[in-house]
Amino acid sequence: MGENTAIEWAHHTFNPWIGCTKVGPPCDNCYAEALMDRRYHKVQWGPHGERKKTSEANWKLPLRWNKAAAPYDRKRVFCASLADVFDNQVPVEWRYGLFDLINATRNLDWLLLTKRPQNIAHMLPDTWGPHGWPNVWLGITCGDQDEYCRDFPKLAKIPAVVRFISNEPMLGLLTPCRLAEGMPLPDWIIAGGESGPNARCTDDVPAWARYQRDICRAVGIAFFFKQMVGKAPIPPDLMVREFPR
Protein backbone atom coordinates (compact mmCIF):
# COMPACT_ATOMS: atom_id res chain seq x y z
CA MET A 1 0.00 0.00 0.00
CA GLY A 2 1.33 3.37 -0.98
CA GLU A 3 4.72 2.06 -2.07
CA ASN A 4 6.15 1.49 -5.51
CA THR A 5 4.07 -1.34 -6.80
CA ALA A 6 4.95 -4.89 -7.78
CA ILE A 7 2.10 -4.82 -10.31
CA GLU A 8 3.80 -4.81 -13.67
CA TRP A 9 1.36 -2.47 -15.41
CA ALA A 10 1.56 0.39 -12.92
CA HIS A 11 4.32 2.45 -11.34
CA HIS A 12 2.55 2.95 -8.02
CA THR A 13 -0.31 1.43 -6.05
CA PHE A 14 -2.48 3.64 -3.88
CA ASN A 15 -5.08 2.35 -1.45
CA PRO A 16 -7.34 5.13 -0.17
CA TRP A 17 -9.03 2.62 2.12
CA ILE A 18 -8.92 -1.12 2.81
CA GLY A 19 -11.74 -3.64 2.96
CA CYS A 20 -14.28 -5.06 0.55
CA THR A 21 -16.94 -7.71 -0.11
CA LYS A 22 -16.70 -10.48 -2.67
CA VAL A 23 -19.02 -9.88 -5.59
CA GLY A 24 -18.37 -12.66 -8.10
CA PRO A 25 -16.21 -15.62 -9.18
CA PRO A 26 -13.08 -13.50 -9.90
CA CYS A 27 -13.14 -12.56 -6.16
CA ASP A 28 -13.14 -16.17 -4.91
CA ASN A 29 -9.45 -16.17 -4.02
CA CYS A 30 -9.21 -12.49 -3.12
CA TYR A 31 -5.57 -11.77 -2.32
CA ALA A 32 -6.46 -8.67 -0.31
CA GLU A 33 -8.81 -10.62 1.97
CA ALA A 34 -6.22 -13.36 2.50
CA LEU A 35 -3.63 -10.75 3.43
CA MET A 36 -5.51 -8.07 5.35
CA ASP A 37 -8.21 -10.18 7.03
CA ARG A 38 -7.09 -13.78 7.41
CA ARG A 39 -3.35 -13.20 7.76
CA TYR A 40 -2.93 -9.86 9.52
CA HIS A 41 -6.46 -9.49 11.02
CA LYS A 42 -6.39 -5.79 10.14
CA VAL A 43 -9.73 -5.48 8.37
CA GLN A 44 -12.73 -7.78 8.49
CA TRP A 45 -13.92 -8.64 4.97
CA GLY A 46 -17.48 -9.12 3.77
CA PRO A 47 -20.90 -7.44 3.84
CA HIS A 48 -20.78 -7.08 7.61
CA GLY A 49 -17.12 -6.23 7.60
CA GLU A 50 -15.49 -2.84 7.72
CA ARG A 51 -13.70 -0.34 5.54
CA LYS A 52 -10.65 1.41 6.96
CA LYS A 53 -9.42 4.68 5.52
CA THR A 54 -5.66 4.76 5.17
CA SER A 55 -3.48 7.29 6.96
CA GLU A 56 -3.04 10.97 6.11
CA ALA A 57 0.62 10.24 5.39
CA ASN A 58 -0.43 7.64 2.83
CA TRP A 59 -2.83 10.12 1.18
CA LYS A 60 0.08 12.56 0.75
CA LEU A 61 2.14 10.12 -1.31
CA PRO A 62 0.39 10.77 -4.66
CA LEU A 63 1.14 14.50 -4.24
CA ARG A 64 4.79 13.60 -3.97
CA TRP A 65 4.66 11.26 -6.99
CA ASN A 66 2.88 13.98 -8.94
CA LYS A 67 5.58 16.49 -8.15
CA ALA A 68 8.31 14.09 -9.22
CA ALA A 69 6.58 13.06 -12.48
CA ALA A 70 7.38 15.01 -15.62
CA PRO A 71 4.48 15.70 -18.02
CA TYR A 72 6.28 13.70 -20.74
CA ASP A 73 6.99 10.81 -18.37
CA ARG A 74 3.64 10.14 -16.82
CA LYS A 75 3.32 7.59 -14.07
CA ARG A 76 0.45 5.13 -13.76
CA VAL A 77 -1.20 4.68 -10.36
CA PHE A 78 -3.27 1.56 -9.68
CA CYS A 79 -6.10 2.42 -7.31
CA ALA A 80 -6.97 0.26 -5.32
CA SER A 81 -5.43 -3.19 -4.75
CA LEU A 82 -6.95 -3.82 -1.29
CA ALA A 83 -10.43 -2.41 -1.88
CA ASP A 84 -12.80 -1.29 -4.62
CA VAL A 85 -13.16 2.41 -5.47
CA PHE A 86 -16.83 1.94 -6.41
CA ASP A 87 -17.84 -0.08 -3.34
CA ASN A 88 -21.31 0.92 -2.02
CA GLN A 89 -20.21 0.45 1.57
CA VAL A 90 -17.59 3.18 1.43
CA PRO A 91 -18.61 6.58 2.87
CA VAL A 92 -19.24 8.97 -0.03
CA GLU A 93 -16.99 11.63 1.45
CA TRP A 94 -14.02 9.27 1.22
CA ARG A 95 -14.64 8.89 -2.50
CA TYR A 96 -15.07 12.67 -2.89
CA GLY A 97 -11.70 13.04 -1.18
CA LEU A 98 -10.16 10.52 -3.56
CA PHE A 99 -11.44 12.38 -6.62
CA ASP A 100 -10.13 15.66 -5.17
CA LEU A 101 -6.73 14.00 -4.88
CA ILE A 102 -6.91 12.64 -8.43
CA ASN A 103 -7.84 16.10 -9.70
CA ALA A 104 -4.89 17.62 -7.87
CA THR A 105 -2.38 15.16 -9.39
CA ARG A 106 -2.68 15.70 -13.14
CA ASN A 107 0.82 14.35 -13.89
CA LEU A 108 -0.37 10.92 -12.81
CA ASP A 109 -2.62 8.59 -14.78
CA TRP A 110 -5.01 6.97 -12.34
CA LEU A 111 -6.19 3.45 -13.19
CA LEU A 112 -9.49 2.80 -11.44
CA LEU A 113 -10.23 -0.91 -11.75
CA THR A 114 -13.49 -2.17 -10.33
CA LYS A 115 -15.60 -5.29 -10.04
CA ARG A 116 -18.70 -3.11 -9.59
CA PRO A 117 -19.26 -1.65 -13.07
CA GLN A 118 -22.89 -0.89 -12.27
CA ASN A 119 -21.76 1.75 -9.76
CA ILE A 120 -19.27 3.71 -11.85
CA ALA A 121 -21.67 6.08 -13.61
CA HIS A 122 -23.43 7.31 -10.49
CA MET A 123 -20.31 7.48 -8.35
CA LEU A 124 -18.19 9.62 -10.67
CA PRO A 125 -17.87 13.32 -9.84
CA ASP A 126 -20.26 15.85 -11.43
CA THR A 127 -17.33 17.39 -13.32
CA TRP A 128 -16.56 14.16 -15.18
CA GLY A 129 -17.76 15.79 -18.40
CA PRO A 130 -18.33 14.42 -21.92
CA HIS A 131 -14.78 13.06 -22.33
CA GLY A 132 -13.96 11.98 -18.79
CA TRP A 133 -11.03 13.33 -16.85
CA PRO A 134 -7.79 13.29 -18.84
CA ASN A 135 -5.85 11.49 -16.12
CA VAL A 136 -8.32 8.71 -15.29
CA TRP A 137 -8.49 5.32 -17.00
CA LEU A 138 -11.57 3.24 -16.14
CA GLY A 139 -11.35 -0.54 -16.00
CA ILE A 140 -13.50 -3.50 -15.04
CA THR A 141 -12.60 -7.08 -14.19
CA CYS A 142 -14.19 -9.76 -16.37
CA GLY A 143 -13.31 -13.38 -15.68
CA ASP A 144 -14.85 -14.79 -18.84
CA GLN A 145 -16.99 -14.04 -21.88
CA ASP A 146 -20.29 -13.97 -19.96
CA GLU A 147 -18.97 -11.30 -17.62
CA TYR A 148 -17.59 -9.31 -20.56
CA CYS A 149 -20.96 -9.41 -22.36
CA ARG A 150 -22.82 -8.48 -19.19
CA ASP A 151 -20.51 -5.74 -17.91
CA PHE A 152 -18.58 -4.10 -20.73
CA PRO A 153 -21.70 -2.32 -22.09
CA LYS A 154 -21.96 -0.51 -18.74
CA LEU A 155 -18.39 0.74 -19.07
CA ALA A 156 -18.69 1.49 -22.78
CA LYS A 157 -21.40 4.07 -22.03
CA ILE A 158 -19.15 6.09 -19.75
CA PRO A 159 -16.75 8.58 -21.33
CA ALA A 160 -13.13 7.85 -20.47
CA VAL A 161 -9.74 8.49 -22.07
CA VAL A 162 -8.99 4.78 -21.69
CA ARG A 163 -11.43 1.94 -21.01
CA PHE A 164 -9.81 -1.30 -20.08
CA ILE A 165 -10.62 -4.91 -19.17
CA SER A 166 -8.71 -6.91 -16.62
CA ASN A 167 -9.18 -10.56 -17.59
CA GLU A 168 -7.37 -11.74 -14.49
CA PRO A 169 -7.91 -14.34 -13.29
CA MET A 170 -8.71 -15.88 -16.66
CA LEU A 171 -11.65 -18.17 -15.91
CA GLY A 172 -12.72 -18.79 -19.49
CA LEU A 173 -12.01 -17.67 -23.02
CA LEU A 174 -12.78 -13.96 -23.41
CA THR A 175 -12.96 -12.52 -26.90
CA PRO A 176 -12.90 -8.72 -26.84
CA CYS A 177 -15.54 -8.25 -29.51
CA ARG A 178 -17.82 -5.33 -30.37
CA LEU A 179 -21.08 -6.08 -28.56
CA ALA A 180 -23.38 -3.78 -30.50
CA GLU A 181 -23.20 -1.52 -33.49
CA GLY A 182 -21.55 1.74 -32.53
CA MET A 183 -20.30 0.40 -29.21
CA PRO A 184 -16.56 1.01 -28.77
CA LEU A 185 -14.09 -1.78 -28.12
CA PRO A 186 -11.96 -1.69 -24.99
CA ASP A 187 -8.67 0.21 -25.46
CA TRP A 188 -6.64 -2.23 -23.43
CA ILE A 189 -6.80 -5.82 -22.13
CA ILE A 190 -4.74 -7.07 -19.22
CA ALA A 191 -4.84 -10.86 -18.98
CA GLY A 192 -3.37 -13.41 -16.63
CA GLY A 193 -3.82 -16.71 -14.88
CA GLU A 194 -4.55 -16.91 -11.18
CA SER A 195 -1.72 -16.99 -8.65
CA GLY A 196 -1.68 -17.94 -4.97
CA PRO A 197 -2.05 -21.23 -3.12
CA ASN A 198 -5.62 -21.93 -4.30
CA ALA A 199 -5.10 -20.81 -7.90
CA ARG A 200 -7.70 -22.26 -10.22
CA CYS A 201 -5.55 -24.20 -12.65
CA THR A 202 -6.43 -24.65 -16.23
CA ASP A 203 -4.18 -25.76 -19.02
CA ASP A 204 -6.20 -23.56 -21.34
CA VAL A 205 -4.72 -20.23 -20.19
CA PRO A 206 -1.91 -20.09 -22.81
CA ALA A 207 -4.34 -20.96 -25.64
CA TRP A 208 -6.89 -18.40 -24.43
CA ALA A 209 -4.15 -15.78 -24.11
CA ARG A 210 -2.78 -16.45 -27.61
CA TYR A 211 -6.23 -16.21 -29.11
CA GLN A 212 -6.90 -12.97 -27.24
CA ARG A 213 -3.51 -11.54 -28.22
CA ASP A 214 -4.22 -12.25 -31.89
CA ILE A 215 -7.72 -10.72 -31.74
CA CYS A 216 -6.30 -7.64 -30.02
CA ARG A 217 -3.68 -7.27 -32.76
CA ALA A 218 -6.31 -7.63 -35.45
CA VAL A 219 -8.66 -4.99 -34.05
CA GLY A 220 -6.12 -2.57 -32.53
CA ILE A 221 -6.51 -3.23 -28.79
CA ALA A 222 -3.37 -2.97 -26.64
CA PHE A 223 -2.67 -6.33 -24.96
CA PHE A 224 -0.75 -6.98 -21.77
CA PHE A 225 -0.13 -10.54 -20.58
CA LYS A 226 0.69 -10.41 -16.91
CA GLN A 227 1.22 -13.97 -15.73
CA MET A 228 0.60 -17.68 -16.17
CA VAL A 229 -1.37 -19.72 -13.61
CA GLY A 230 0.68 -19.95 -10.41
CA LYS A 231 3.26 -17.59 -11.91
CA ALA A 232 4.73 -20.34 -14.11
CA PRO A 233 7.24 -18.97 -16.65
CA ILE A 234 5.63 -16.99 -19.45
CA PRO A 235 6.25 -18.52 -22.89
CA PRO A 236 8.29 -16.09 -25.02
CA ASP A 237 5.48 -15.52 -27.52
CA LEU A 238 3.16 -14.43 -24.71
CA MET A 239 5.59 -11.93 -23.27
CA VAL A 240 3.52 -9.12 -24.75
CA ARG A 241 3.24 -5.97 -22.66
CA GLU A 242 1.57 -3.19 -24.57
CA PHE A 243 -0.11 -0.05 -23.27
CA PRO A 244 -2.86 2.03 -24.87
CA ARG A 245 -1.74 5.21 -26.61
Residues that bind ligand SF4 (CB under 6 A): 20, 22-23, 27, 30, 32-33, 83-84, 115
Query: What letter represents residue 194's amino acid?
Result: E
Nearer to ligand SF4, 33 or 194 (CB): 33
Nearer to ligand SF4, 139 or 206 (CB): 139
In this structure, the strands spanning 75-79 and 188-192 are: unpaired
Task: Please check whether residue 143 is in contact with residue 117, taking contact to mean a CB–CB distance below 8 angstroms.
Answer: no
Nearer to ligand SF4, 140 or 221 (CB): 140
* Three-state SS at 217: helix
Q: How far is the CB of 154 from ligand SF4 (least distance, A)?
A: 16
In this structure, the strands spanning 52-53 and 17-18 are: antiparallel
Q: How far is the CB of 98 from ligand SF4 (least distance, A)?
A: 16
Nearer to ligand SF4, 79 or 108 (CB): 79
Query: Among 209, 235, 231, 213, which residue's Cα sits nearest to residue 222?
Result: 213
Buried/exposed code over 208-224 (b: 16+ C-beta within 10 A; e: otherwise): bbeebbebbeeeebbbb
Q: How far is the CB of 104 from ligand SF4 (least distance, A)?
A: 25
Q: How far is the CB of 175 from ligand SF4 (least distance, A)?
A: 23
